[in-house]
């Protein structure tokens, strides 16, 4: 029985170790999550080995001999065994619960000086706002510093997940959710929407870059400088149609050759000429639905989330009249 148990434990251990079930961790939170996985997995391997050994031993040792038609002896249970198989699993499950609770609480703790980033999710794009009026379509984070995210959704439920960083949080309209991520290595990752949020769900991704702290500070400063422009208004601050096209996530659903997008959830935006029609289709997408496409798919919130100037710029961009 000991041999069978050792064999079962060996097989289960090989399956756990040799197959890369989890991505290479890139955050403190992911390190803790991986620890929790291994804590539970090791317990499971022990239980599996014990159960497999007892079953195989029972089937083998107590099998019926040829021509043995007698009934087995009546058995009324074994109090000691029953107490053991109740108490031991209870202790193990409570231990897993305690470890998980400690990890959850540590993973929610942003520490003394977290970087604050606001995340806006909308069908089907992400936007990241930093202190000092900096907006970005790319999530840029400094290494070895906790980042505290405030998550908001403009329409339906989305969910933020960077696989290598473990943390995952639903983004619920009307509620501000929080999540903490502390990157531990530099590199490029992908933020994935992991809540089915509509036809463009699978395209709702954003690039993630983790930089050295100095490089991050330089990036933030550069973005701040670019975004500010003259406070008195003027040509320099006019919104760019191409930038709005990108940040509003139009390319998640529509083909538009100048922007290099080829999605086919909604109709192609190539060869649009009528500014009034384009504007109406952005603000009130269900007024006229292109034949062959479904109504009610495109967000109806752009009339509120985009300013008049931004709408003008987007319409000009789509109709090929963007001022150079």
Q: Which residues contribute to the site for ligand CUA (CB under 6 A)? A: 124, 158, 193, 195-197, 201, 204
First-to-last CA distance in the chain?
A: 80
Least Å distance, CB 315 to ligand CUA, is 25
User: Least distance in Å: CB of 165 to ligand CUA?
Assistant: 18
Nearer to ligand CUA, 198 or 241 (CB): 198
d(C-alpha 72, C-alpha 267), whole Å? 73
Q: Toward ligand CUA, which CB reaches closer, 124 or 189?
A: 124
Beta bridge partner(s), residue 261: 256
Min separation Cβ 158 and ligand CUA, Å: 3
Q: How far apart are CA 120 and CA 248, in angstroms?
A: 11
Q: In whole angstroms, how close is the CB of 241 to ligand CUA at the nearest point?
A: 24
The least distance separating ligand CUA from the CB of residue 311, rounded to whole angstroms, comes to 23
Q: Is the dihedral of CA 112, 177, 254, 191 positive or negative?
A: positive
CB–CB of 25/69 below 8 Å?
no
Beta carbon nearer to ligand CUA, 205 or 240: 205
Which one, 136 or 159, has the nearer CB to ligand CUA?
159
Compute the distance between CA of residue 259 and CA of residue 243 in angstroms, rounded to an integer: 10
The set of residues, in sequence order, having a beta carbon less than 8 Å from that of 241 and lying 6+ positions away, is 313, 314, 315, 316, 317, 318, 322
> Which region, left, alpha or beta, applies to residue 283 given φ > 0 means left and ψ of -120 to 50 means alpha?
alpha
* Minimal distance, residue 3 CB to ligand CUA, in Å: 50
- What is the nearest approach in angstroms of ligand CUA to the Cβ of residue 198? 7
Q: Which is nearer to ligand CUA, 285 or 299 (CB)?
A: 299
Task: Please say which residue, 179 or 278, places its beta carbon nearer to ligand CUA.
Answer: 179
Angle between helices 2-18 and 28-61 (to 10 degrees): 150
Helix (H, G, I), strand (E, B) or coil at 147: strand
Kindly tell me which of 177 and 186 has the beta carbon lying closer to ligand CUA: 177
CB of 204 to ligand CUA, least distance (A): 4
Give the residue with the Cβ less far from ligand CUA, 176 or 290: 176
Query: Min. distance of Cβ 155 from ligand CUA in angstroms?
Result: 9
Residue (29 or 195) nearer to ligand CUA, CB: 195
Length of the chain: 324
Burial of 322 (0-12, 13-18, 19+ CB in 10 A): middle
- Closest among 231, 250, 223 to 310, alpha carbons compared: 250
Cβ–Cβ < 8 Å for 169, 160 = yes
The answer to whether the CB of 269 falls within 8 A of the CB of 256 is: yes
- Look-up: residue for tokens 């706002």? 129
Q: Please enumerate in sequence order all residues whose Cβ is within 8 A of that of 168, keeping only pairs 6 or more positions apart, or say none.
A: 159, 160, 161, 179, 194
């Amino acid at each position: 029985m000991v041999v069978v148990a050792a064999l079962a434990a060996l097989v289960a251990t090989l399956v756990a170790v040799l197959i890369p079930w989890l991505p290479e961790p890139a955050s403190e939170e992911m390190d803790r999550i991986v620890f929790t996985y291994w804590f539970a997995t090791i317990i499971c391997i022990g239980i599996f080995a014990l159960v497999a050994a007892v079953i195989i031993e029972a089937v083998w040792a107590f099998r019926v001999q040829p021509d043995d038609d007698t009934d087995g002896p009546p058995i009324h249970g074994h109090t000691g065994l029953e107490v053991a198989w109740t108490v031991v699993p209870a202790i193990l499950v409570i231990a897993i619960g305690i470890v998980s609770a400690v990890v959850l609480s540590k993973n929610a703790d942003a520490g003394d000086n977290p970087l604050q980033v606001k995340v806006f999710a909308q069908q089907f794009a992400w936007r990241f706002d930093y202190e000092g009026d900096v907006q970005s379509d790319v999530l840029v984070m400094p290494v070895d510093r906790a980042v505290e995210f405030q998550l908001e959704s403009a329409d339906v439920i989305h969910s933020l997940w960077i696989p290598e960083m473990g943390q995952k949080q639903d983004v619920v309209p009307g509620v501000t959710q929080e999540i903490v991520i502390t990157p531990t290595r530099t590199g490029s990752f992908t933020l994935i929407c992991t809540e089915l949020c509509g036809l463009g769900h699978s395209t709702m991704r954003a690039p993630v870059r983790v930089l050295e702290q100095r490089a991050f500070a330089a990036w933030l400063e550069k973005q701040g400088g670019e975004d500010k422009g003259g406070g008195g208004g003027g040509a320099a601050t006019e919104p760019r149609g191409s930038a709005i096209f990108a940040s509003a996530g139009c390319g998640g659903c529509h083909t538009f050759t100048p922007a290099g997008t080829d999605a086919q959830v909604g109709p192609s935006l190539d060869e649009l000429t009528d500014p009034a029609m384009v504007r109406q289709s952005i603000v009130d997408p269900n007024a006229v639905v292109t034949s062959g496409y479904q109504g009610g798919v495109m967000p109806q919130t752009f009339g509120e989330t985009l300013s008049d100037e931004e709408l003008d710029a987007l319409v000009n961009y789509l109709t090929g009249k963007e001022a150079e």
